[in-house]
Structure 1
């Protein structure tokens, strides 16, 4: 018998064939145990990951987009009355260019500390080939609050297609101009100092001046507001804005309807004559202050 193991009185004698069979069985048993342990670990990991994913999904920010009217604006938070009457507390966007107050304006509104931007077609020598249809008026923004290509919209200069090769730049193409307004000639030529480059462009007859500020200095209660952003599912009345735009039908730089310059000059002359006839003590300082 080949697999018969003989024993001696001083101890057992190992059987090579039996040991080989036993080793093979042990190895298979270890492999099966290893596979079973791996399966158990995978199942445990699966059971641990799924609840975490579900929990994370339940706490994820929800996208929202709505319109309404401005109620109040305080540093760091705006209260907006949504179109359905619900009051929403909104945090402004982190990126300042995504916050905008937009209104129509007149050239008379241009003043010190303001910049303008517009687009036009120019030839290789810098001569304008088209009239300007729209001019945006804005205020400077701290450079540290701007990212990437945003800087080109707020830094004085002339910007063309960055991907155009030098040979194409001698041909007519569109440029964006950002600079300080230097005035408008009687013939309708807009003069702009775009960094170190003086630019002269004709304005179209129906040119539009748009005031676009990245702050709330001119916003008033009742102005229309549009918001897109996120909120936690537990409370949709607290929103973190990604984009926020406030508009108004007020026109800046336009004289008031009851403010006729001729009448105003005449009334001032009349008041001056009346002041000469009346005693100085009877002058109404409050009335003069309102002028």
Structure 2
């Protein structure tokens, strides 16, 4: 029964993907003919997901097969995440207290995962009013003409900096971030709040809510197929890395131990000599 159920599910999934692919080709073919278009603006919930496509149930109860926008700048995925979800290669942004050599003070309470674009500034930047140049940050060299400050409490030696860069390591709450040419080390607080604002439609999940603007060929609303020009996905649950449970091994069956022979017990020969 299990194999039959699995095969039916697999066939259903394949048919769904094929249906979506054929639908998209039909829409694109009509788009090339410059047919009149109608606009779809709505909110809804994701029912199914295939590469490059979403099946959405809109607030009016309609169901649409939506082609995801080709340009990433027209895609927005927002939500929250747990710290175990952070992975190497993600771009993150946070503010923390650091001294001029890059030594952190305390832990990071808030962090944002984001998608960089052509206007994104990557690096380490001081807060306004610090009177420090960015090129002098996290450097062991003191300018010759800068007077040494008087001795102050340790806390005063740290200042807030904005760090934006790519994660090179994330383990146990300890982060290594390559911010431009500077490698920054930071420790996440136990109750850190992580927000997600990215342009990766691959993070969309079944049950997430969507806001969309799309178009479809005029007089073909009943077909329920449209191409999105803008898509916003809001995650209904935090992103997290689920732990895979390894199946427990069965304990090895112990062989019964052979009873040791007693010294006073003598074995009788298998073929005793005949008595004369």
Gaps of 5+ in 1: 1-58, 278-291
User: Which residue pairs with 1:247 in the alignment?
Assistant: 235
Q: Aligned in 2, Cα 1:95/1:133: closer, same or farther, shift over 3 Å?
A: farther
Structure 2, gaps ≥5 residues long: 1-35, 135-157, 256-276
Q: Which residue in the other structure is 2:187 paired with?
A: 202
For these two proteins, the number of residue pairs brought into alignment is 192
Greater relative contact order (CA < 8 Å, ≥ 6 in sequence):
2
| C-alpha distance in structure 2 between counterparts of 1:61 and 1:127, whole Å | 57
Q: 1:123 to 1:246 in 2, by over 3 A?
A: closer
- The aligned residue for residue 267 of structure 2 is none
Corresponding residue number in structure 2 for 1:224: 208
Residue 44 of structure 2, aligned match among 53, 62, 68: 68
1:245 Cα shift? 1.3
Q: Distance in 1 between matches of 2:238 and 2:96?
A: 31
User: What is the TM-score normalised by the length of structure 1?
Assistant: 0.49
Conservation of the 8 A alpha-carbon contact between 1:93 and 1:244: no
RMSD of aligned residue pairs (Cα, Å): 4.2
CA distance in 1, matches of 2:69, 2:129: 36
Summarize deviations over 1:213-270 as a string: whole Å, max 9, x none.
64444544x32232232436946653523232152426422447xx5x8xx6xx32xx
Aligned equivalents of 1:100, 1:230: Cα separation in 2: 15
- Map of 1:160 onto structure 2: 125
- Hey, what's the Cα distance between the residues in 1 that align with 2:78 and 2:89? 15
Tell which structure's C-alpha radius of gyration is larger. 1
Residue by residue, what CA displacement relative to the aligned partner does 1:33-66 show, whole Å, maximum 9, x if unpaired? Answer: xxxxxxxxxxxxxxxxxxxxxxxxxx787572x3
Work out the CA distance in 2 between the residues paired with 1:165 and 1:137. 27
Q: Deviation at 1:81?
A: 0.9
1:82 CA drift (Å): 0.8
Please, what TM-score do these two structures have when normalized by structure 2? 0.51
Q: Secondary structure at the match of 2:119?
A: helix
Shift of 1:86: 0.4
Partners of 1:130 and 1:93 in 2: CA distance: 42
| Structure 2 counterpart of 1:191 | 176
Instruction: Specify which structure has the higher proportion of helix.
Output: 1
